């Protein structure tokens, strides 16, 4: 049921807009005076030379997680593209050479001009294959094609840029846990790995 919000009543002095404008100017010039006499009162950042460090849980540009051998964790289940309200994710699946994984993405693209950065794709993924923790919040390009990021660009990240306790990132090539993860992968001791194709593809890599 819709809630009716009454329009606030305005008095005579508020209807004389010149007075309200003067009040606004008083606030503006008050800030100007404070900034001239006390610069520290309004700290500024010399952007783009100085960039604020975004928190890790900020919904920034996407990345595809990697297995120990450098392949994407994505199993092309289309759950992220199905959950996406903006329909900005385009996936083309192909057969995986790994007997424990049925499919993998031959093509994975995200149109950042359509993306609303809601994070639904991250929540929907059953394999922790897509994240938005890159802290890349400023997106720049001189044509529309620059904003369509493909699988190679989504996987272009380094484990060193992520916390040491992010075990999934550290299992990727170049990470501190990569050697151990590779040994488990090649030794067939992947924790929770399915014995046949089906539900749970790609988990434990």
Domain of 177, CATH number, reads: 3.30.70.3270
173 found inside a domain: yes
Write down the pLDDT at residue 83: 97
139 found inside a domain: yes
Taking the CA atoms of residue 133, residue 137, residue 143 and residue 145 in that order, the dihedral angle to the nearest 10 degrees is 10
Structure-model confidence comparison of residues 146 and 8, the more confident one: 146
Residues 52 and 64: their CA atoms lie apart, in Å, by 24
Strand, helix or coil for residue 184: helix
196 found inside a domain: no
133 found inside a domain: yes
The residue with tokens 């997106």 is 139
Strand, helix or coil for residue 109: strand
57 found inside a domain: no
Q: Highest-confidence range of 33-42, 46-55, 195-204, by mean pLDDT? A: 46-55
**122-132 tens-digit pLDDT:** 999 999 999 99
- Measured from the Cβ of residue 163, the count of other Cβ atoms closer than 10 Å reads 11
Which of the four pLDDT bands, split at 50, 70 and 90, describes residue 1?
A: low
Instruction: State which residues form the domain around 118.
Output: 63-187
24 found inside a domain: no
Taking the CA atoms of residue 12, residue 15, residue 18 and residue 20 in that order, the dihedral angle to the nearest 10 degrees is 90
Burial of 92 (0-12, 13-18, 19+ CB in 10 A): exposed
Are residues 124 and 80 in contact, defined by beta-carbon separation less than 8 angstroms? yes
**166-203 tens-digit pLDDT:** 999 999 999 999 999 999 887 765 444 444 334 444 44
Average pLDDT over residues 88-113: 95
204 found inside a domain: no
Which of the four pLDDT bands, split at 50, 70 and 90, describes residue 151?
A: very high
Burial of 191 (0-12, 13-18, 19+ CB in 10 A): exposed
116 found inside a domain: yes
Alpha-carbon dihedral sign for residues 31, 35, 37, 39: positive
Phi–psi pair at 95, nearest 5 degrees: -70, 140
For the chain, the domain total comes to 1
């Amino acid at each position: 049921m819709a809630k009716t919000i009454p329009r606030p009543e305005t008095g005579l002095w508020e209807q004389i807009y010149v007075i309200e404008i003067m009040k606004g100017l008083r606030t503006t010039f008050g800030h100007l005076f404070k900034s001239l006499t006390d610069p520290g009162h309004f700290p500024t950042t010399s952007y783009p030379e100085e960039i604020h460090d975004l928190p890790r849980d900020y919904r920034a540009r996407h990345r595809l997680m990697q297995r120990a051998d450098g392949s994407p964790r994505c199993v092309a289940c289309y759950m992220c593209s199905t959950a996406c309200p903006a329909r900005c994710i385009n996936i083309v699946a192909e057969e995986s050479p790994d007997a424990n994984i049925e499919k993998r993405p031959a093509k994975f693209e995200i149109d950042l001009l359509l993306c609303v950065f809601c994070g639904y794709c991250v929540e929907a993924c059953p394999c922790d294959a897509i994240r938005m923790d890159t802290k890349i919040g400023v997106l720049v390009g001189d044509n529309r094609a620059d904003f369509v990021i493909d699988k190679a660009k989504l996987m272009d990240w380094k484990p060193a840029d992520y916390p040491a306790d992010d075990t999934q990132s550290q299992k990727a090539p170049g990470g501190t846990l990569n050697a151990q993860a590779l040994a488990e992968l090649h030794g067939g001791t992947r924790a929770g790995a399915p014995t046949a194709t089906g539900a749970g593809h790609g988990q434990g890599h």
